[in-house]
Amino acid sequence: MNQPSDICNRLYALARERNGQDVMLDINGVPMLVLQRHESADHVLRTHAAHYRKDMAWFRQALGASRFCEEGEAWRIRRRITHEHFTHFDREHTCALAGQHGAHAVQRLLADSAKGAQTIDDHVLRTMTVSILVENFLGIPFQDTGIDLALISELMEYGSAYSFVPPGRTEAYYAQGLRRLPGLRREILQQMRVLRDGSLPTSPMLADMLRADVDPANDIVLEHELVTFLAAGAESSASTAGWACYLLARYPEVQERLRDQVMQLNPADGWNALTQCTPLEDFISEALRLFPPSPIISRQATQADRIGIHHVDSGQNLLISFIGIGHDAHMRDDPWTLAGTPVVRGPTAGNRMAFSIGPRICGGKLFALVELMGALAAFLRHARFELTCDSPPRFHWKAQLLREGGHPVRVTPLH
Ligand code: HEM
């Protein structure tokens, strides 16, 4: 595998060929233990997390140091600053924002389809999720920041591209990208300055981050935290929304059933009512299981250990494959299709595993689930989703699981 973007095709193939097994692979000359069993992931991510460190050197180099990739005290300081904000947010407000931006996004998708588009434009979904995120946590409309989302997306592409390049061989693989990286980073960091120069209102979370930035006791750079926050927060929810549109189109009877449920709710009742809509929650969980937006996370062993039948040396690289874990046939009867009811919940359900587990669990999990419920309810209220091509997906990895060529879905009005 020379192209990192091909990793997910390889992991889906592995989930079929070596279902439910942990496997040692050679990835571009680096021996890598790929974990496909829930018990192994639980061991590394949760019960023995202290013996496995996050291994995101190149991601850090592209996007800067942040809560996402730091370890030890540097991570704990960063977590303290944002964690309260990420977990104690106003669900009703988030749900209303998601409904509003979801309705706006679906109008744009309807207009694209009316003009003949055969695929969903990812940019519309990313604009939707970044708008919900920024308005919710920074208290300002995203368009007021003037930040160019396409540049952040490009930076993510570089960050993920470097993840599988053997040490010392980056030049050989990415001579072109390496030349573009410094300029791209400069441009983005320059755009981010608008969030510190006082020209925009400051939310409580931004105020806490600014205070941390000027505190000489730590080395926090506001722009680095924010760029990763936007990238990690907006891209993964947009990826999930894209896969959800594909699954609605692929399973029209499920789409109709979900729409019936959503139509029975009064939109004015907001989150309080939507939280009762278990079928929609199960559908999102299934989308996250079948197509986990962050399909792999990497760790490095800091001491010798044993995982199942595998001996692990200190320094061993590991990849936890949420693709493999979600498709383990020991955990459900038919792991390859969208489950109707009852959905198998358990430890390998999408909403349990796709956000990771243990101390480094996704900081924005609760927010993402509220946001996705609100946005998908708006999608179902306003439009119908139809497949334009039924070939099985090929995957493109850009730190997120994307579909090569975009999702083949047409969006049409309900009446
Ligand atoms: C469907 C949407 C999302 C998915 C599937 C997802 C998934 C993940 C995963 C798997 C990790 C752990 C990576 C690792 O252990 O190496 C992670 C970390 C993180 N995510 Fe998310 N994420 C989502 C949305 C969000 C949102 C909306 C935010 C912000 C509000 C966010 C903020 C974070 C942060 C801050 C971390 C680092 C946590 C830490 O190490 O302290 N995520 N996410």
Per the CB < 8 A criterion, the answer to whether 279 and 261 are in contact is yes
Q: Could you tell me if the CB of 363 is within 6 A of ligand 1?
A: yes
Looking at per-residue pLDDT, the higher value among 295 and 155 belongs to: 295
Distance from C-alpha of 342 to C-alpha of 154, rounded to nearest angstrom = 40
| CA angle, 97 then 84 then 379, to 5° | 20
pLDDT for position 112: 98
Q: Which of 54, 88, 130, 236 to mutate to test the pocket of ligand 1 (most atoms within 8 A of CB)?
A: 236
Average pLDDT over residues 323-340: 93
| Sign (positive or negative) of CA dihedral 321, 403, 374, 367 | positive
Torsion of CA 392, 289, 106, 123, to 10 degrees: -70
Closest CA to 280 of 363, 351, 361: 351
Q: What letter represents residue 383's amino acid? A: A
Distance 389 CA to ligand 1 centre (A): 31
Q: Would you say residue 167 has pLDDT above 60?
A: no
All residues at 6 or more sequence positions from 61 whose CB lies less than 8 Å from its CB, including other chains: 159, 162
- Residue 296 main-chain phi, psi, to 5 deg: -140, 145
State the angle between helix axes of 252-263 and 278-290 in degrees (0 to 180), rounded to the nearest 10. Answer: 150
Mean pLDDT of the chain: 91
pLDDT for position 11: 95
Distance 251 CA to ligand 1 centre (A): 28
pLDDT in tens, 137-154: 999 999 999 999 989 888
| Sign (positive or negative) of CA dihedral 374, 389, 157, 355 | positive
Looking at per-residue pLDDT, the higher value among 214 and 252 belongs to: 252
All residues at 6 or more sequence positions from 240 whose CB lies less than 8 Å from its CB, including other chains: 284, 287, 288, 291, 293, 368, 372
Average pLDDT over residues 367-385: 97
pLDDT in tens, 12-39: 999 999 999 999 998 877 889 999 999 9
Token pair listed for 324: 């493999």
Distance 355 CA to ligand 1 centre (A): 6
Q: Would you say residue 2 has pLDDT above 80?
A: no
Distance 24 CA to ligand 1 centre (A): 26
pTM, 2 dp: 0.95
Distance 19 CA to ligand 1 centre (A): 26
| Ligand 1 atom nearest residue 356's Cα | 10
- Report the Cα 353 to chain-centroid distance in Å: 12
Write down the residue that tokens 């496995």 correspond to: 52
Per the CB < 8 A criterion, the answer to whether 15 and 323 are in contact is yes
pLDDT for position 323: 97
Band (pLDDT 50/70/90 cuts) for residue 156 is: confident
Per the CB < 8 A criterion, the answer to whether 338 and 290 are in contact is yes
Q: What letter represents residue 301's amino acid? A: A
Average pLDDT over residues 109-132: 97
Token pair listed for 115: 């003009």
In DSSP terms, 24 is beta-bridged to 33
Looking at per-residue pLDDT, the higher value among 289 and 172 belongs to: 289
Q: Would you say residue 170 has pLDDT above 90?
A: no
Distance from C-alpha of 122 to C-alpha of 236, rounded to nearest angstrom = 12
**Hey, whose CA ends up nearest to atom 41 of ligand 1?**
360
Per the CB < 8 A criterion, the answer to whether 15 and 324 are in contact is yes
Q: Could you tell me if the CB of 232 is within 6 A of ligand 1?
A: yes
- Report the Cα 10 to chain-centroid distance in Å: 19
Q: Could you tell me if the CB of 239 is within 6 A of ligand 1?
A: no
- Give the count of beta carbons closer than 10 Å to the beta carbon of residue 14: 19
Q: Cα-atom radius of gyration of the chain, to the nearest Å?
A: 21
pLDDT in tens, 232-290: 889 999 999 999 999 999 999 999 999 999 999 988 889 999 999 999 999 999 999 99
> In the chain, what percentage of residues exceed pLDDT 70?
94
Band (pLDDT 50/70/90 cuts) for residue 49 is: very high
Per the CB < 8 A criterion, the answer to whether 323 and 353 are in contact is no
Q: Could you tell me if the CB of 54 is within 6 A of ligand 1?
A: yes
Per the CB < 8 A criterion, the answer to whether 290 and 332 are in contact is no
